[in-house]
Amino acid sequence: MADKRTLVLGASPDTSRYANLAANKLVRDGHSIVNVGLRTGEIAGVPIEKPETIHHDIDTITLYVGPQHQEELYDYILDTHPKRIIFNPGTENSKLRRMANEKGIETEYACTLVLLSIGQY
């Protein structure tokens, strides 16, 4: 399986959060990750950074930020220019999806954990 470098947006050190579970599962499945969030800490040995540094080597952004907090991240997300954005349940946003598609970024309303578990990531 090829490494799909993934930016986990909304990363949290809280082990009960889906972003945390997904980050750990991604690493266990052989994917490198970048954790981006507002809290300090680390997940799967990777520190959580603030949404400041634009990474240009990202295959997928898996989104764990609700639509009410996404607008302030639009430029960060679009400037990263991943190949794909996964809108996990509760993060669906038709405006951001349209903006991403216009820039040639594939979008998917799906659950990263489910995609990983069924081998469709």
* CATH number (domain holding residue 95): 3.40.50.720
The stretch 32-48 carries a mean pLDDT of 97
Does pLDDT of 1 surpass 80? no
Look up residue 77 and give its DSSP letter.
H
Share of the chain above pLDDT 70, in %: 99
Note down the domain range covering 33.
6-117
Parallel, antiparallel, or unpaired: how do β-strands 46-49 and 42-43 relate?
antiparallel
Predicted confidence at residue 2, as pLDDT, reads: 79
If one counts the domains in the chain, the total is 1
Helices (H), the chain: 18-28, 74-80, 94-102, 112-117
Does pLDDT of 21 surpass 90? yes
| Average per-residue pLDDT for the chain | 97
Contact 43, 23 (CB under 8 A): yes
Does pLDDT of 115 surpass 80? yes
Would 107 be classed as within a structural domain?
A: yes
Does pLDDT of 27 surpass 80? yes
Would 31 be classed as within a structural domain?
A: yes
